[in-house]
Amino acid sequence: MPSDPLADPIREDVSDSLEYSLSRLREALRAGVNSDVVIRRFCVSGFSAALLFLDGMADTRQLNLHILQPALQCPPYEGDPAGRVDWLRARVLTSASVTQVQELDRVVEAVLRGDAALLADGCPAALTVEAKGFPMRGVEQPVNEVVVIGPHEGFVESAKVNLSLLRRILQSPRFVAERFEAGAGVKSTGWLVYLDGVASEQVLGEARRRLAGINADSVLSLGELEQYIEDSPYALIPQFAHTERPDRAVSFLMSGMFLLFLDGSPMVLAAPATVLHMVHTSDMTHMRFPYGTFLRLVLVVGMLLATFMPALYLALVTHHNETLPLALMTSIYETQSHVQVPVFFELLFMTVSFDLISQAGARMPGALSHGLGVVSALILGQAAVAADLVSPMLIIVVAVSSLGLLTTPDYFFSIGLRLTQFVLLVSAALGGLFGMMLVTLLFATALCSMTSMGAPMLWPYAPARMHNPDLVTRYPLWQQRVRNYLSHPARVLRMRGRGRAWEKDGKEDGHGQ
């Protein structure tokens, strides 16, 4: 791997000379100009030691309680100087998380993460003590995945807190969280999470290979990480499912998928994902199956309308008006006769306007954003119709398609649908329905070849495997005997025997009539 200017490695082990080790650490951390680099020198049982941490990143109360006070009150040490660190770790320090390291680079990384490093004179090793004390946001309701039914808690910026949220729900010894580092210079800590024996080893091996093959100076967010490891970087739709909800992340794990966490990101990536994962919401799993099926069908219809309705309207009005019923065609042309702008530019203007309103509402303060979208849409639509810039029928078409996009559970997938909508608009303007069908066929062909971590994104439709209890429609939970085929789970069966075993027992006892 080529040398990175941000890495600035020391490439030395901890020296048995405390002064030399501290001089190298001061140089690496720029202690001469960084006022928040703290080196606390003290004496322990007759030998010198030093505590290194960043002010504001480490909790000084924990350092005093678990390191300094026990060290200053400990009995004399009369053993070999090389064993001083082992003695401190076993007999002095009271912190729960203490790690012994040999390399100075590891010491620097620990200090930059917010931990503290303890070095002793005469010992060629150091101890890193977990003592993070920087402020963090508490667990709150996720803003982008609001649900009607189900838990109202979301992930935060601390990956360890997020892992604890998952473990609280999924109390299984098969739960595995593999730690990895991304970035050659500025290292970010992440976790690969999966259920051992449920996730496919082939998929996990591919994920590890891609994570280890990232050659960049920094990977600061999950969005950057996704771009480095996705299968098709130029595709319009994402190849990972995104969620801020622990309950939805657990459902991904139970279906055989893996999760990617990154410290500092309140979101997780899930793969292998398919197109159908983008229309699944967590509250549908908490509902009775008729309600969940109905709402899922509503979402699918909304996304189809959002993608095809503007282009279909343009193709029918400009190229194939003879296919419309006479009464509808007359109504459209009566409203369209006063408009001097071509239909294509009408649609383009109103679609972009609705996108501007949506983005403005998302970035306005909460007290103003609630009324901004409704008021702006009403004023803009009424003014555009009054100025003979657009027709009322076109306002309805754009409004319905925009509502369909807003109902899309995955935000990134909705952006991909919007881009697809623009491509279809151009094809409808140039070739009418035939242009739309050609572009749709090209998109479908590309989608059939797309993969997520090597798994087809159109599973179980391409390749065909139709027996799946939780696709567009939802079977009753007790009939979902197999796991989701979408994610290549290693264990197919999710229940053995009858899910409602009490029914069989009741009928045998004569109480089930």
* Domain locations along the chain: 18-129, 159-273, 291-456
pLDDT at position 2, please? 43
* pLDDT value at residue 466: 56
Per-residue pLDDT at 504: 66
Percent of the chain with pLDDT over 70: 89
Please spell the DSSP secondary structure of 336-350, one letter per residue. HTT--S-HHHHHHHH
Q: At what angle do helices 326-336 and 392-406 cross, to 10 degrees?
A: 100
446: amino acid identity, one letter: A
Backbone angles phi, psi at 479, to 5 degrees: -100, -5
Q: What local confidence, expressed as pLDDT, does residue 3 receive?
A: 46
User: Is the predicted pLDDT of residue 132 greater than 70, yes or no?
Assistant: yes
Q: Is 509:501 a contact under the CB 8 Å cutoff?
A: no
Distance CA 347, CA 336 (A): 13
Average pLDDT of every residue of the chain: 84
Name the residue type at position 334. Answer: E
Report the pLDDT averaged over residues 91-100.
Answer: 84
> Can you give the pLDDT at residue 422?
94
- Kindly tell me if the per-residue pLDDT of 6 is higher than 70: no
| Token pair 């972009």: residue | 352
pLDDT surpassing 50 at residue 1: no
**pLDDT at residue 512 in the model:** 44
Q: Is the pLDDT of residue 415 over 50?
A: yes
pLDDT score for 493: 67
- In this prediction, residue 492 has a pLDDT band, given cuts at 50, 70 and 90, of low
What is the tens place of the pLDDT at every residue in 345-379? Answer: 989 988 888 888 888 777 776 655 655 666 677 77
Q: If you average pLDDT over residues 395-421, what whole number do you get?
A: 89
pLDDT value, residue 210: 94
Q: Please count the other Cβ atoms lying within 10 Å of the Cβ belonging to residue 196.
A: 13
Q: Summarize the confidence of residues 26-30 as an average pLDDT.
A: 90
What is the DSSP-derived secondary structure letter of residue 3?
-
- Whether 505 shows a pLDDT value over 70: the answer reads no
Q: How far apart are CA 355 and CA 350, in angstroms?
A: 9
Tokens standing for residue 77? 């040490």
Q: How many CB atoms lie within 10 A of CB 298?
A: 12
In the predicted model, what is the mean pLDDT of residues 152-181?
91
* Statement: residue 513 has pLDDT above 50: no
> Higher confidence at residue 178 or residue 323?
178
* The pLDDT of residue 407: 85
Tokens representing residue 473 in the block: 């429609």
Lowest mean pLDDT among 69-83, 251-265, 301-315: 69-83
At residue 128 the predicted structure's pLDDT band, cuts being 50, 70 and 90, is very high
* Confidence class for position 8, pLDDT limits 50, 70, 90: low
Residue 309 has pLDDT above 90, yes or no: yes
Least confident window among 91-95, 298-302, 418-422: 91-95
Alpha-carbon distances, residue 96 vs 67, 89, 103 (angstroms): 11, 10, 22
Residue 499 has pLDDT above 80, yes or no: no
- As a whole number, mean pLDDT of residues 213-227 equals 90
Residue 418 pLDDT greater than 80, yes or no: yes
Q: Which of 158, 153, 195 is nearest to 178 (CA)?
A: 195
Mean per-residue pLDDT for 164-184? 90
Q: Is the pLDDT of residue 297 over 70?
A: yes
Going by DSSP bridges, is the β-strand pair 126-129/98-101 parallel, antiparallel, or unpaired?
antiparallel
* Cβ–Cβ < 8 Å for 244, 145: yes
253 pLDDT higher than 50:
yes
SS3 category, 259: strand
Of the given ranges (179-183, 302-306, 494-498), which has the lowest mean pLDDT?
494-498
Does 170 have pLDDT greater than 80?
yes
pLDDT in tens, 460-478: 777 766 556 666 677 777 7
Give the C-alpha separation, 175 to 44, whole Å.
Answer: 41
Question: Would you say residue 429 has pLDDT above 90?
Answer: yes
Its sign, for the CA torsion 200, 204, 209, 213, is positive
In this predicted model, which residue has the larger pLDDT, 322 or 246? 246
Cα–Cα distance between 434 and 428 in angstroms, integer?
A: 8
Q: What is the mean pLDDT of residues 453-458?
A: 86
